[in-house]
Structure 1
Amino acid sequence: MRRAVFTAVLALLAFAGNALADNFPSHPITIIVPFSAGGPSDAMARIMAERMQRALGQTIMIENVTGAGGSLGVGRVVRAPADGYTVGFGHLGTNVANGAIYNLGYDLVTDLAPVVMLPSNPMIIVSKNAVPAKTLPELLAWLRAKPAPPIAGTAGAGSGSHIAGLYFENVTGIKLQYVPYRGTAPALNDLVAGQLDIIVDQTSNSISQVRAGTIRAYAVTSDKRVESASDIPTTDEAGLPGFHMTLWSGLWVPKGTPKEIITKLNGAAVEALNDAAVRKKLGDLGLDIPPKDQLSPEALGAWQKTEIAKWWPMIKAANVKID
Structure 2
Amino acid sequence: MSISRRHVIQSAGATALLASLGQQAMAQAQIDTLKIVTGFAAGGTSDNTCRRVGTRLTGPYAKTVVVENKTGAGGQIAIQYIKGQPADGTSLLQSPTSMFTIYPHIFKKLPYDPVADVTPVTLACVFDFGFAVGPLVPASVKNVADFIAWAKANPTQANFGSPAAGSTPHFVGALLGKSGGIDLKHAAYRGTQPAMLDLLGGQIAAVSGPIGDITQHLATGKIRILATSGAKRNRFAPDVPTYAEQGFKELTHSEWFAFFLPPKAAPELVARMNSALKAALASKDVIDGLATFGLEAMSNSPAELADLLKQDTAKWAPIVKAIGFTADA
Provide TM-score, normalisation by structure 2: 0.85
Identity of aligned residues (%): 29
Aligned-partner SS, 1:88: strand
What is the rounded CA distance, in whole Å, between the counterparts of 2:222 and 2:157 in structure 1?
23
Q: 1:242 to 1:164 in 2, by over 3 A?
A: closer
Structure 1 gaps of 5+ residues are 1-18
Residue by residue, what CA displacement relative to the aligned partner does 1:265-321 show, whole Å, maximum 9, x if unpaired?
A: 11111111211121111122221233xxx6111111111111111113332451312
Q: Which amino acid aligns with 2:281?
A: L
Structure 2 counterpart of 1:196: 204
Residue 92 of structure 1 pairs with residue 100 of structure 2: no
- Deviation of 1:167 (Å): 2.8
Aligned-partner SS, 2:95: strand
What is the rounded CA distance, in whole Å, between the counterparts of 1:92 and 1:146 in structure 2?
33
The partner residue of 1:60 within 54, 65, 69 is 65
Aligned-partner SS, 1:194: coil
**Residues 32 and 64, structure 2, Cα contact 8 Å, conserved in 1:** yes
**Residues 123 and 202, structure 1, Cα contact 8 Å, conserved in 2:** yes
The partner residue of 2:307 within 302, 310, 319 is 302
**Residues 70 and 159, structure 1, Cα contact 8 Å, conserved in 2:** no
| 1:86-125 superposed matches below 5 A | 86-102=91-107, 103-125=109-131
What is the rounded CA distance, in whole Å, between the counterparts of 2:153 and 2:29 in structure 1?
59
**Residues 121 and 260, structure 2, Cα contact 8 Å, conserved in 1:** yes
What is the rounded CA distance, in whole Å, between the counterparts of 2:111 and 2:143 in structure 1?
44
What is the rounded CA distance, in whole Å, between the counterparts of 2:35 and 2:200 in structure 1?
32
Structure number with the higher helix fraction is: 1
- Deviation of 1:139 (Å): 1.4
What is the rounded CA distance, in whole Å, between the counterparts of 1:199 and 1:101 in structure 2?
21
Structure 2 counterpart of 1:71: 76
What is the rounded CA distance, in whole Å, between the counterparts of 2:27 and 2:116 in structure 1?
25
Residue by residue, what CA displacement relative to the aligned partner does 1:150-187 show, whole Å, maximum 9, x if unpaired?
A: 12112222223322222323433322212222111111
Q: 1:25 to 1:257 in 2, by over 3 A?
A: farther
Structure 2 gaps of 5+ residues are 1-23
What is the rounded CA distance, in whole Å, between the counterparts of 2:147 and 2:38 in structure 1?
33
What is the rounded CA distance, in whole Å, between the counterparts of 2:144 and 2:196 in structure 1?
19
Structure 1 counterpart of 2:3: none
**Residues 118 and 251, structure 1, Cα contact 8 Å, conserved in 2:** yes
- Deviation of 1:322 (Å): 2.9
Work out which of the two has the higher radius of gyration on C-alpha atoms and give 1 or 2: 1
Q: Which amino acid aligns with 1:129?
A: P
Residue 30 of structure 1 pairs with residue 30 of structure 2: no
Deviates further, 135-144 or 185-194: 135-144
**Residues 25 and 85, structure 1, Cα contact 8 Å, conserved in 2:** no
Structure 1 runs, 4 residues or longer, greater than 4 Å off: 19-25
